[in-house]
Amino acid sequence: MSRGLTTTVRLDAEDAEALRKARADGQEASELIRRGLRIVAARYYPKKRRPKLGLFHSVDPKLGDESELFGELDK
């Protein structure tokens, strides 16, 4: 994996506490922030296939793709 953009994010106390709890549960802070960004930024990928978010994993082929969960972002 190539090195990407490095940036600073300022968090309010409530978000900082949520991030601390997520890290205590074994989540990497950078991966958590990247996933959140992908959810919000998905609407800005009009000409490309939206990035996989990795939020929904199923072994049932009858269930839809995770991109169907965020279809309302197109509106």
Q: Would 30 be classed as within a structural domain?
A: yes
Res 14: pLDDT: 95
Q: Would 56 be classed as within a structural domain?
A: yes
Res 22: pLDDT: 92
pLDDT in tens, 44-59: 777 766 556 565 555 6
Cα–Cα distance measured from residue 33 to residue 59, given in angstroms and rounded to the nearest whole number: 26
Nearest in space to 34 (alpha carbons), one of 56, 54, 10, 20: 54
Domain count, the chain: 1
Give the pLDDT band of residue 13 (cuts 50, 70, 90).
Answer: very high
Q: Would 41 be classed as within a structural domain?
A: yes
Q: Rounded to two decimals, what is the model's pTM?
A: 0.53
Q: Would 63 be classed as within a structural domain?
A: yes
Res 42: pLDDT: 77
Task: Extract the runs of DSSP E, i.e. beta strands, from the chain.
Answer: none
DSSP 3-state assignment of 39?
helix
Domain that holds residue 21: 13-70
